[in-house]
Amino acid sequence: MALIVHKYGGTSMGSTERIRNVAKRVAKWVRAGHQLVVVPSAMSGDTNRLLGLAKEISERPSPRELDMIASTGEQVSVGLLSIALQAEGLEAVSYAGWQVPVKTDSSFTKARIESIDDARVRADLAAGKVVVVTGFQGVDPEGHITTLGRGGSDTSAVAIAAAMKAAECLIYTDVDGVYTTDPRVVPDARRLKSISFEEMLEMASLGSKVLQIRSVEFAGKYRVPLRVLSSFTPWDIPLDEEASSGTLISFEEDEKMEQAVVSGIAFTRDEAKITVVGVPDTPGIAYQILGKVAEANIDIDVIIQNVSHDGKTDFSFTVNRNDYARTLELLEAKVVPALGAQKVVGDPKICKVSIVGIGMRSHSGIASTMFRCLAEENINIQMITTSEIKTSVVLDEKYMELAVRALHKAFGLEEPRG
């Protein structure tokens, strides 16, 4: 018997029919002798609908009220799921975040979980109940309802699994696992049976949207075994088969079944490139440029500074595409005149493509395979950045799909044929 957390996404909770299926699946686990905490998202589309209502009334709704509204989607879900579980003949009880409580800070619409009191949930489990807890929401020190940011139910589930020291956290979703890359771009992308936690962190932060990145960080910090699997398999498949399906996000690198050097190709269109041209090459320029950007709370990703000519250099970096206009304005107003730079130019039509794999730590020549592959496709690399387990290149957006396909092939990641 083990304590297991199940998380069901919005599509899996998308109709009362689907909620009944979730209840049947949960019942199968309970009848096999496990203790279950279930964390559902709002029914698909609900959070958007709720936030849309607020925007109909005001262009700048108060974040506290937005959380009051958005959190109700999950409250409906837990109630409906509890009823469905009871209809299956199980004892079940639902809780909102504040009832557990799931304690967060007060950053409305993007709150961070600070602690979870497990006493109430434990008592219910001991009494033989299935406990259904809202995803996405918590309560701040003053008792206000908070939400954890879009996609936050993943983080709720992992945090609850960590607090309860659950044996595993199963994330049931509308895809059947984590793939070597997005199958919409590369049709023969392969599902990974396992991926290390560090690789998953890179894949999630580089644009693979299977899990909210914070949930992966949480899983790493508290060493919660995580599995991503499909909620669209028939609910009555054998439990053993279900329990080993999908993708395991593991901590045991050595036990990794697939010892590929590169595990996946991630990509994102979310960035924009900015270059400050003709900056005097003197100590402190990086600080004078990027310090101003950071002060405005704009995150910087890739950075390069060119060799200087005649005491002048060009300085380029990328920011989130949403921050592009604001960053240009800020540089033009504050940095160019102060530094005596020539001008600022930018390009929002870029993409970032990355190869990720823990095998890169112990193998050399991986990055050069990447560069050769891009060269053969005649794709110009604008910027390069590396870490121990990834190499990223910034490219013209129009080459994104070509680059991803070529790299996927160059590293032999496709589904074996035949």
Q: Would you tell me which residues interact with Mg ion (CB under 5 A)?
A: 9, 151
Nearest CB to Mg ion, comparing residues 45 and 141: 45
Mask of contacts with ligand ASP, 92-111, x by CB under 6 A? --------------------
Among 21, 35, 41, 75, binds ligand ASP (CB under 6 A): 41
Minimal distance, residue 61 CB to ligand ASP, in Å: 16
Q: What gap in Å lies between CA 86 and CA 91, rounded to an integer?
A: 6
- Least separation in angstroms between residue 175's CB and Mg ion is 10
Cβ atoms of 81 and 94 within 8 Å: the answer is yes
Among 112, 89, 99, smallest CA distance to 28 is for: 89
Which residues are within 8 A (CB) of 234 and not within 5 positions of it... i.e. 6 or more apart?
A: none
**Among the listed residues 25, 27, 73, 301, the single contact to ligand ASP using CB under 6 A:** 73
- Measured from the Cβ of residue 210, the count of other Cβ atoms closer than 10 Å reads 21
Question: How many residues make up the chain in this entry?
Answer: 418
Size of residue set near ligand ASP by CB under 6 A: 12
Work out the burial of residue 120: count CB atoms within 10 Å of its CB; fewer than 13 is exposed, 13-18 middle, 19 or more buried: middle
Strand partners, 6: 38, 170
If the CB atoms of residues 230 and 385 are measured against ligand ASP, the closer one turns out to be 230
Rounded least distance, CB 101 to ligand ASP, Å: 18
Pairing relation of β-strands 271-280 and 92-95? Answer: unpaired
**Least distance between Mg ion and beta carbon 25 (Å):** 18
Asked whether position 136 contacts ligand ASP by CB under 6 A, the answer is yes
235-270 as b/e, with b when 16 or more CB fall inside 10 Å? beeeeeebbebbbbbbeeeeebeeebbbbbbbbbeb
Nearer to ligand ASP, 154 or 271 (CB): 154
> Under the criterion CB under 6 A, does residue 47 sit at the interface with ligand ASP?
yes
Q: Using the rule CB under 6 A, is 231 a contact of ligand ASP? A: no
Closest to ligand ASP by CB, 21 vs 153, is: 153
Among the listed ranges 18-26, 41-49, 220-228, 292-300, the one in contact with ligand ASP (CB under 6 A) is 41-49
